[in-house]
Structure formats: C-alpha cells, structure tokens
Structure 1
Amino acid sequence: MVSQGSPAGNRIALTFDSNMTAGMLAKLARNPKISYANTRVLDVLDRDNAPATFFLASLWVQQYPAVTRRIAADSRFEIASHSYTHRGFTKTCYDLGTLPPNQMAADVERSFDILKPYGGHQTRYFRFPGGCYDKTALESIAAAGCTVIQYSVVADDPFNHNINSIENNVLSKAKPGAIVVMHITEANAPDTDKALPAIIAGLRKRGLQLVTLSDLLSQK
C-alpha cells in the first residue's frame, strides 16, 4: 500500500521528516555548532495543540536521542520510519546515492528496531528517502511488513528562507484528506517553525481538523 492522502471528512495530517545522511554527519563533525534538529517545530506544535506524525531517519535518531524521546513522550505525536541510512531507494534520487535492493528490507527493519525502544505511539509507516521509489523498491521492502506513506502537499521548506512561500505552498493545496510533508532538519530547513503557526491557523480557519496519520487513514 502506498498512501498519498484521500478525502477523509475534514481531516488533514501534518507530517515531518527528519533526514540524516553520512554527508550530514560529516558536516556535524566538522561544525558541531550546527544542528539538524529543529526543536522549535515541536514548541509550535505543543503550543498550538497540533497532532503530527514524524518520519524519523534512524541515523538522526541516534544523533538526537533526547529529541526523539520528546517526540515519543507527546501523546499528540506518532512515530514512523524514514529509513536507517537515508540513502536513495532508486538509482537516481537527488544526491542521496543508491541503496542496493538486497539491502533495502534490512535497512527498513533496522530503522524500526532502533525506534521501538523509544516507545510512544509507534507505527509501521515508512516513507522513502527523498520520496523516491519504484516497483523494485516496493518489492524489495515487502518483507519488512510496513505501509508506505507518501504525501499530497509539499511545503518545500528545505533550503527555503521565504516564509510566505512555505505557508502558501501548504495552504494553497490543502484539502480534506491531504498529507502534508515538512521537515525538522534545522540546518537544511531553518524556517519551518516560522511558517508553521500561520499554516496551522490557516488550516483551522478553513475548518480542517489536524490529526495524526493513523487517525486520517482510519477514516478512509
């Protein structure tokens, strides 16, 4: 199953990806003052009582265990997988490299194993790094027994310093049943938290109810 969102009453799901590649880890080693964990996003969601689903790359989890624990401890949040190494599951996926098909299921399963001890609202949802997948990738991860989740609304927040653009990218396409994708990787998406309050307020003004992905899918 690959879900990209579909009509479900007036519900809409905010999802956040945490990316972490070997290259990003190398940047952290060279410059420990940077961060790929935007905890201000969590602050906004907490303040505005907004549910969300987090697709966490396990290299990110291992780098930021305290932030992962904070996410897991919040009853409004749920946890999903964004792979272990965040390498591409297709031959071409941005600059992520390529994970061999015979390693794909193990990578996904390892990511769930790393997430499990954190508790909270665990799911078996999985989102491909970069959103890139094909028939081979789907067949290769079938043994992991997960549900692949894509998205229907792209905030385009990575490397985007235009807050109004991020807001408009979401609000112009939002509709019942939509799955919105944003990021909590601060160094790569530094202004997501600044756009988020207006996004939440704008969605609610339209009568859309913010829910977790599980709640959204259960209404289909």
Structure 2
Amino acid sequence: MPVVQHGPRDKPRVALTFDADLTALMRRRLLSGKVHSYYNKALIDELRAMHVPATMFLTGMWMEQYPDVTRELAADPLFELGTHTYDHRGFTKHCYTLGTVPREDMLADVRRAVVQLDQLDPHATRWFRFPGGCYDGTALHELAPAGVTAVGLDVPGADGFAKSSAPIVKQVLSNVRNGSIVVLHMHGGDNAPYTAEAVGPIVKALRACGYELVTVTQLLAG
C-alpha cells in the first residue's frame, strides 16, 4: 500500500501501528513458563498516559490467549483493532522463518481471525496486515472474499529482538515522514522487549517536530 501524501498546508500525520504476534512456538514458550506474557501492558499504559491513538493488528491466536485484553483495547477510544492472520504464518514461501500457509488454507486462516475479532470488538475494522509484510498476487487473490484491506508500512520499527531502545528510536525517527505508517510490536516478551521503553521518546520527538499521531483510519481518510 502506498504511503499517503497530504497537501503542504496539512499538519503532517503519522500512524503508529502495533502487531500482536503469537505463533505456535511462542504459545509453547508461554505455556511452559519460559515467557511470562506476550501482552506488553507497559506499552499500552504508556500509550494511554500520552494519549496516543494507535492501530493494533492482532493474530487470532493472541486473541484466544487474551480475550479480556482484546475487549479492553476495543473499548478504548484511543485504539482501533484489525487482524494479523490466525497464527502468524507467512503468505509467501520463504517469509523469514514464519512457515507458509498453504494456498487452499489462506482464506480460512484470515476469516478465522476476523470472526474472533468480531466476537470481541463491536467496532472491529477490516484492516489486515500480512505477517512479515510478505504477500503476492496469489495471496491477494485468495483473500479477496474475506473483505479485508491490507495495510502496509514504510517504517519498520526494528523492535523485534532489539537489545535496547535506542536503535528503535533512531530507526523510526530517521525514516518517518508525512503519511508514514510505523510498525512496532505489542506482544513484548523475549521477541520485542524494549518497545515500551522506546515509544515514549518516539512520541515526544514526533510531536516536537509537529506531527499529529493518528490511527490508520484517520490517516487514510486524508
């Protein structure tokens, strides 16, 4: 999806988005006690404290694990929720190490997550994000009946497996521009341990530069 461009008189806008991944492997780590939680409550608390609108993309497996949290996020007017497939497998071959959803299962996988979100969120959007940003014409064709709209990104936050918050902050602030969609992660744990620490400096710097922080819906509304 192309980055949105606004006229020169508009206040520059940026959408902060957060993916909530949960894979079969991550769930095993959670159930075994190796990871305490894949819900980064500190991140959500920080967004609320700073009154930051955001769009969250939730996997179906994550919603199954955290139904009450999903309802709580859905009830917060700051946030809007979309889907991120059921278990975060890739929709093309060789999508990092995510595995691959067979073509014949693609539609059912996405519909499963959409149904779950609709059960938990009366205001659910039809925004959808491909895991790893991996998709092709085949994937788009197969998902057309699901009625979702794929949301891309132009600023990956590089918070996955980061060793500190500083590189995350630098990555976002060095690449953001008017109309950008930034992707970070809200599952925390051992996969994204420094996102909550990074989001405060990111938000403060963006606002100091005159950016308005908005949801994907607000951004695409122009």
Fold match, TM over 0.5? yes
The alpha-carbon deviation at position 122 of structure 1 amounts to 1.4
> 1:44-59 maps to which residues of 2 (within 5 A)?
44-59=46-61
> Once the two structures are superposed, what CA deviation does each residue of 1:82-140 show, in whole Å capped at 9, x if it has no partner?
00121111111111111011111111111110001222531111100111111111111
What is the match of residue 7 of structure 1? Answer: 5
Contact 1:79 1:120 in 2 (8 A): no
From 199, 202, 205, the counterpart of 2:205: 202
3-state SS of paired residue (2:188): coil
Q: What is the TM-score with the length of structure 1 in the denominator?
A: 0.95
Q: Distance in 1 between matches of 2:124 and 2:209?
A: 30
From 207, 212, 216, the counterpart of 1:213: 216
Contact 1:4 1:179 in 2 (8 A): no
Identity score, percent: 45
What is the match of residue 101 of structure 1? Answer: 103
Q: What is the TM-score with the length of structure 2 in the denominator?
A: 0.94
Matching residue's letter, 2:38: Y
Unaligned runs of 5+ in 2: none
Q: Distance in 1 between matches of 2:66 and 2:144?
A: 28
The alpha-carbon deviation at position 145 of structure 1 amounts to 1.3
Q: Distance in 2 between matches of 1:21 and 1:209?
A: 33
What is the match of residue 123 of structure 1? Answer: 125
Matching residue's letter, 1:193: A
> 1:26-175 maps to which residues of 2 (within 5 A)?
26-31=28-33, 33-175=35-177
Matching residue's letter, 1:147: T
Q: Distance in 2 between matches of 1:191 and 1:33?
A: 15
Aligned residues: 217
Q: Distance in 1 between matches of 2:74 and 2:199?
A: 20
Unaligned runs of 5+ in 1: none
Matching residue's letter, 1:214: T
What is the match of residue 184 of structure 1? Answer: 186
Contact 1:77 1:121 in 2 (8 A): no
Runs of 4 or more off by more than 6 Å in structure 1? Answer: none
Q: Distance in 2 between matches of 1:4 and 1:98?
A: 25
